[in-house]
Structure 1
């Protein structure tokens, strides 16, 4: 039984008081100098030691160093990615050392779960991205900057509002629940969206089961390890970076203007048999109004980011402090995002003791557009923005126009925002107990509080509608807390050619999630029973002044409250052994046992093992004479990972519901006062358990020509078993459909990552590429014929283009097949089945012809056929870096292919609903005089259902986009010395400047809110073009 945990949180902050003092370097008789690279640029972070002693230092941001040494002492200069050099001290002379790149990189240390490993001894699939790479992308957080940088990692925006989190998928989707990866920041779970990209030193992506299984039931969606920057021994260094950018949409819709709007709508009414004398007034009046609502709700956005850091240290203590400010104004009016954060990392080392601490505090304020963007696009161009004759000064829909609200008025009157305060901290203590044996204790704490607020005063939408949009106030406060305690033992042992690395540990984690919300509407509902029927009438109540914006101001109105208080606990034990023989033959074995409070007692614990093998082929004797071969390693792994993200806190329990209103639930009695009732609505299921991902991986790492050309190839085969999905029960049961472990999903793929670097004279070239293939397939569901539907484009239940079925991808497109337009009434009438009955009885000339694909003589849902998927079959990225002396140029291309997009924009904006505005291409609608077109006739009510979910709206989703181009210039050292700076770089950059695609929507980078809707374009906030100027300064 999992017990409640008690946590010494005060210890977290008390221990930080240890880090308030530092030591200074001796200033007498120092040997001074500077470290440069091959093109005479200063190099920071180079380790300089007096050979044979423990005396040492590191070079600062300007490459300068100072170290106590005697004449004839030998200084050793070393760093990852550089060849080690030794220089003899000559009394009184400054030393200048040029470091040469070591392309082999095999001794590079890579962060893995609960430890580190030399890259040459890795047996699993791990991809790395440096902080310098992330710095080039002007992103609000490090996750957004990863797009296209790691093979198999897909990053997209589900909505695009400023500050919005990305949808991240690693090696496809293997669950219908949460599919986001686990993020580990400096060794503990954390939220990267509250972290600044400027604070990141490196990112490692653990992709296969052997790499990720050490995190057990959290790791089925992959693990992303983020290591933040830490201070280095030396004098204090101040770093400043900032950029200012302008933002514009990559594309805009082409809508009908006033004349085109009248023309298309007149055609709609005429084709529906409406006589000219009976046309709506808005089509016969000439008001001279021609409002471009798209232009009014869009603006030029602005994004700014400024970061300042202070770092340094002594022999025992290093520190890194930073502050970050982000301020974004989105391209929709009213949308904005502000983030302020401070971060501190301190490391204290003396003798056998090492203590490190991290604290991040972030405040965010986000505001989305206050109006419905989609409804704003529907707004008629015949409606002006302002009308002084109206009560509120904003024009209202008249003359029979639909009751869409004035978006400019809504933006003015409505107030809504979301504010979050996020605190994360951890303290890690490490003791070296014996040679090779160490103990680590880790304590972390997260507290995130979010306050959501909305106030809408009364604002009438339609001049002909007596109902008023009642005033409304909404408040919600949610609080999330997470506590983690870890105890680890590490033991490293080398015996002759045998090398062992062992880690064992115990972890305890507790999460609490609370929220409380209240809503008051300035109305009350009067219910009466008339002739046995319930009649509801809304009448104003509460809010003596609708401008009052507090909950209490609406007392007397309709009041609703909700809340929850949930707790989750996980207890885990883990172990991993890494073995290497002669650095040639490698073995890794790991196991983790997790216990989770989310399951019943009989299924509470799960075991997640893994095994991996590696062979450094290039170290074999038969390859020692192959001089051009720097590295060749074969890897194979198998691991099992868990996922519980598809479950709620209490899904394994039998629950009872009570609802005391007329709108739902269980009521008794008669008259106008309901009596509360209750009933069970979910079944007890103690057999629920984790979804289990069984991951196989085969990999090859290679390096040629002193590793100037290097890369890796991985093939993976992932099976998610025990998939958590609902199984239908008869409606007569009166229960929710239960969740069972009954499904299975396969994701198979191939990944390639490669990099080529070379330097010649003053030129340096860095070329990198990623490429990945993916095949997603549903193997089984609750039964062979089960169909899981996506979300409808209209009302959530209508116009559903995706289905999930056995044998196809998650969220595959199942659509009617459109087969051109009927060119005459006779052709439509003669489109018959074998019995001579019309297949489309309501069709006439200009309507869409749909195929009877199953030849049953009726066109219905059974004629929908598989039409591909929104999953990209392949994704790729290409990074090009060129530097010449002090100039540097970077270009980054990213693209996908083999995927389809269902253009929901066209469904909505070519839909022929009365009063709506449409895309300008509806002017090409079929008429007897215009038959050479693919646009069906304009007709009111769409009697032939031309806009049903069909291949008419399905398009090629492939694209290639220039995600980043950046030109920078770093001032020469002699100029910097005069300015008292160590480094000054200025740059100009552009993002999303060029896109090659056949897709006709705004943006082929289609985000999604659900795996079941992959590839469905729902008129979300598109990607934007960004032009920015920035500076990076060190002194």
Structure 2
């Protein structure tokens, strides 16, 4: 979509299987700003879809088209339609590729040991201080040592004899005097491949489309990978002279994506940041093949980036996902069609990782190892029912009316367990056999169990969670002689994340268009094939930043706060409960009001398509959880205190212009056809009002008192 639709910006993480951040017309919320993705009529995700299955993609940006989706469409809507079978003989297709991805040849270009030492010395001179460093000495010029451990030692110095090597006490490490290239230690060329096979066909009464895809995408960052297997089954069956139709759209995917867990080194450094923070004089390994690091002193506290990544190579991250829908529709009384559809998603995931003792680090090098397992599930259910009336009067009046109901239910849960102080690591390589690591084999006294917080649709959700949306909606489309077009929609959404009395919102919109090229006075303008002026206004809402428990005050067992030594023996304590979250019964929707005016034109024998649109979006009542101020009184050295609820604070506007121009070309006697598209997007985001932290807090506590 990048470069195909104006106003759409996509930022990819580069991680195999990683999510891409898609923004339509900028960022207008504290919470999740990803657009709603509808795949074959059911909410879904773009990151796991098989691109070979896609038949078309449509981006809805203006109020008239997006408002039919109510609170879910405030960030725009992307509608994906996948391929379906056609009547005729069976068609089998295969496509695949094998390619390579390669890291930058120059890497970070960090300083070599001599340059690093000279920079340190220059810093001392600039501060009028006497130069001194454990590794580089204290003379007028720095001296590059032969060994980092023993610290700053030269060849033959005490402790450099390999027979005296001891992990922790004398981890003999030679200096990389020419400079180690950490970038190319962790980034390597990889081979990627994808294979897809599909079959489609059918008869007048049934059509089908099946596909299977295998993707193997290692990351250029070592020990990151994605292996994905997916299958799609789309079919339609018709009866009663095609007046009754039933079918399904099913997508099944399994992926193994241990990838980039971002597990921390010392001070929570990840491998990429560590690769340009650790001095180049540090080698990857010491003389015995164990990891080298900053343990010798004078080199800072950066972690060994190769160690961070290699210690993740046996971690697991598996996901099993089934999504899709089943539908039925009936044409009756000539002008009516009723449609019912039940769809959703079932997602099961589990991952595990082992945190090793970072013995090579200058800090935390004796921390106990630990092992963690997490398992969870998410489900969503969407049930949609519509009734459509469509008719043409006097050959020029075209009317379509649609009414419907929709019920959406989201729920999920997860559990996380960990233990530490495992004795099953090998002293030389300090690796672990994943087949022998279990929670039971760790130290029971270090056990931890909890329901973790997970990210769902860009929102942090404390598990278990559940939320519902119930909606009524209607749409009217009228056009006269295909020249004058008007459309109106209204949707009433109710969400369980708000308290009674705040749950329902009504979101209307109206749009109109004038197809000037259809007027008689334009008949002699032969170079202009199509010209349309359009405009629209609408209201939408958003709940993307709020958790289902926000209206409620919660209590729980809080270490160091909800236990008390009632007996006074100092050897035991009685467990109680403490306040963990304040509820807010006054919180309601973010309100989005969108106005847009545009011009669409096709000209020069349909060779060029031009679209220009101006828009203005006003967002009021931004949802945000304010920080607690000092007078709140619950902050302690051991706990951050109860969480404050989300409240409606602040207003922002976002306005700009979207322009796109497409050229449809052909070559080689019209056998080769191609399109060239250019887009221009400009938007200005302004914060109109945003209270200070203290005002946000008072707003929250005032809501609590109501």
Unmatched segments (≥5 aa) in structure 2: 147-174, 264-269, 427-431, 452-462, 635-641, 698-706
Q: Which residue of 2 aligns with 1:267?
A: 122
Are 1:562 and 2:450 counterparts?
yes
Cα distance change, pair 771–411 in 1 and its aligned pair in 2 (3 A): closer
Residue of structure 2 aligned with 1:356, choices 225, 236, 247: 247
Match of 1:449 among 322, 342, 348: 348
CA distance in 2, matches of 1:675, 1:332: 49
The 1:785–1:550 alpha-carbon spacing in structure 2 relative to 1, beyond 3 Å, is closer
User: Which residue of 194, 218, 227 maps to 2:81?
Assistant: 227
SS in structure 1 at match of 2:360: coil
User: Residue 238 of structure 1 contacts residue 311 of structure 1 at CA under 8 Å; is this kept in 2?
Assistant: yes
In structure 2, relative to structure 1, the CA distance for the partners of 1:458 and 1:179 (3 Å cut) is same
- CA gap of 1:762–1:649, structure 2 versus 1, over 3 A, is same
CA drift of 1:566 comes to 1.1
**Structure 1: runs of 5 or more not aligned:** 1-145, 523-541, 789-1035
Q: How much has 1:737 moved relative to structure 2?
A: 3.9
CA distance in 2, matches of 1:614, 1:239: 42
- Which residue of 1 is the match for residue 686 of structure 2? 777
The alpha carbon displacement at 1:652 in A equals: 1.7
Shift of 1:677: 4.7
Count of aligned pairs = 618
1:276-295 superposed matches below 5 A: 276=131, 279-280=134-135, 284-287=143-146, 289=176, 290-295=179-184
Aligned partners of 1:772, 1:396: CA distance in 2, in Å?
A: 48
User: 1:338: which partner in 2?
Assistant: 227
Q: CA RMSD in A?
A: 2.5
Structure 1, residues 54-107: CA drift from partner, whole Å, max 9, x if none?
Answer: xxxxxxxxxxxxxxxxxxxxxxxxxxxxxxxxxxxxxxxxxxxxxxxxxxxxxx
Rounded to whole Å, the distance in 2 between the matches of 1:169 and 1:740 is 24
Inter-CA distance 319–520: structure 2 relative to 1 (3 Å threshold)? same
Residues of 2 paired with 1:411 and 1:577: CA distance?
A: 57
Matches within 5 A, 1:620-659: 620-659=519-558
* Cα separation, 2, equivalents of 1:702 and 1:180: 30
Correspondent of 2:662 among 755, 775, 784: 755
Within 5 A, what are the aligned runs for 1:867-906?
none
TM-score (norm 2): 0.83
- The answer to whether the aligner puts 1:471 opposite 2:369 as a matched pair is yes
Q: Equivalents in 1 of 2:272, 2:676: separation in Å? A: 41
1-side partners of 2:650 and 2:191: how far apart?
Answer: 46
Cα distance in 2 for partners of 1:189, 1:373 equals 34
The TM-score with structure 1 as length reference comes to 0.57
| Conserved 8 A contact 1:281-1:399 | no
Q: Is the CA contact (8 Å cut-off) linking 2:538 and 2:594 kept in structure 1?
A: yes
CA contact 1:383–1:397 (8 Å) conserved in 2: no
Cα distance change of structure 1 residues 729 and 200 upon mapping to structure 2, 3 Å threshold: same
Q: Which residue of 1 aligns with 2:517?
A: 618
1:499, 1:441 → 2: CA distance? 24
Match of 1:739 in 2: 646
2:43 and 2:344 in contact (8 A); partners too: no
Q: Which residue of 1 aligns with 2:113?
A: 258
Q: Secondary structure at the match of 1:601?
A: coil
| Residues 252 and 459 of structure 1: CA distance in aligned 2, closer, same or farther (over 3 Å) | closer
Q: 1:641 to 1:273 in 2, by over 3 A?
A: same
Shift of 1:765: 5.5
- Render the CA deviation track for 1:337-380: whole Å, top value 9, x for unaligned: 11110111111123211112111110111133465321232222
Whether 1:489 and 2:387 are equivalent positions in the alignment is yes
Summarize the alignment of residues 708-723 of structure 1 with structure 2, pairs less than 5 Å apart.
708-723=607-622
Q: 1:163 aligns with which of 10, 17, 42?
A: 17
1:386 paired to 2:285: yes
Contact persistence 2:292–2:360 (CA under 8 A): no
Q: Which moved more, 1:251-260 or 1:710-719?
A: 251-260
Conserved? CA contact 1:213–1:608, under 8 Å: yes
Is the contact made by 1:472 and 1:521 (CA closer than 8 Å) also made in structure 2? yes
Structure 1 residue 470 displacement after superposition: 1.8
- Secondary structure in 1 matching 2:547: coil
Structure 1 match to 2:216: 327
Would you say the 8 A contact 1:488–1:503 is kept in 2? yes
CA drift of 1:699 comes to: 1.1
d(CA) in 2 for partners of 1:443, 1:756: 40
Query: Equivalent residue for 1:979?
Result: none
Change (3 A) 1:466 1:354: closer
Are 1:471 and 1:543, in contact at CA under 8 Å, matched by a contact in 2?
Answer: no
Match of 1:184 in 2: 38
Q: Distance in 1 between matches of 2:447 and 2:87?
A: 60
2:172 is the alignment partner of 1:301:
no
Distance 1:617 1:285 in 2: 78
C-alpha distance 389-787 of structure 1, shift in aligned 2 (>3 A): farther
Aligned twin of 1:827: none
Name the residue aligned to 2:3: 148
Q: Is the 8 A contact 1:397 1:404 kept in 2?
A: no
Contact 2:3 2:677 in 1 (8 A): no
Distance in 2 (alpha carbons) for counterparts of 1:206 and 1:730: 41
Seen in structure 2, the aligned counterparts of structure 1 residues 281 and 678 have a Cα distance that, compared at 3 Å, is farther
Following superposition of structure 1 onto structure 2, how do residues 987-1026 of structure 1 map, counting pairs within 5 Å? none
- Indicate the larger mover: 243-252 or 747-756: 243-252
Note the C-alpha offset of 1:234: 1.1
Q: Indicate yes or no: 2:295 matched with 1:397.
A: yes
Judge conservation of contact 1:660–1:674 (CA < 8 Å) in 2.
no
Q: CA deviation at 1:657?
A: 4.0
Post-superposition offset of 1:779: 0.9
Say whether residues 1:434 and 2:333 are aligned partners.
Answer: yes
Matched residue, 2:401: 502
Q: Are the aligned partners of 2:607 and 2:665 in contact in 1 as well (CA < 8 Å)?
A: yes
Q: Distance in 1 between matches of 2:287 and 2:628?
A: 58
Secondary structure of 1:334 counterpart: coil
Tell me the equivalent position of 1:948.
none
User: Match of 1:687, SS?
Assistant: coil
Relative to structure 1, the CA distance from residue 253 to residue 512 in structure 2 (aligned partners, 3 Å threshold; closer, same or farther) is: same
* 1:768 equivalent in structure 2: 677
Quick check: 2:626–2:693 contact (8 Å CA) kept in 1? no
- Look up the SS of the partner of 1:659 in the other structure: coil
Work out whether residues 629 and 705 of structure 1, in 8 Å CA contact, stay in contact via their aligned partners in 2: yes
**What secondary structure, in the 3-state scheme, does the structure 1 residue paired with 2:56 have?**
strand
Cα offset, 1:715, TM superposition: 0.7
Q: Residue 194 of structure 1 aligns to a residue in which SS?
A: coil
Aligned to 1:408: 306
Looking at structure 1, the residues matched to 305 and 601 of structure 2 have their Cα atoms a distance apart, in angstroms, of 57
Query: How far is 1:190 from its partner?
Result: 1.2
The CA deviation string for residues 254-288 of structure 1, in whole angstroms up to 9 with x for no partner, is 10112212221233345455535665457645326
| CA deviation after TM superposition for structure 1 residue 465, in Å | 6.9
SS of alignment partner, residue 257 of structure 2: strand
Is the CA contact (8 Å cut-off) linking 1:455 and 1:471 kept in structure 2? yes
Task: Give 1:658 deviation, angstroms.
Answer: 2.9
Shift of 1:296: 0.8
- 1:396–1:460 Cα contact (<8 Å) kept: no
How far the C-alpha of 1:766 sits from its partner, in A, is: 3.1
- Counterpart Cα distance in 2 of 1:271 and 1:668: 56
- What SS class does the counterpart of residue 501 from structure 2 fall into? helix
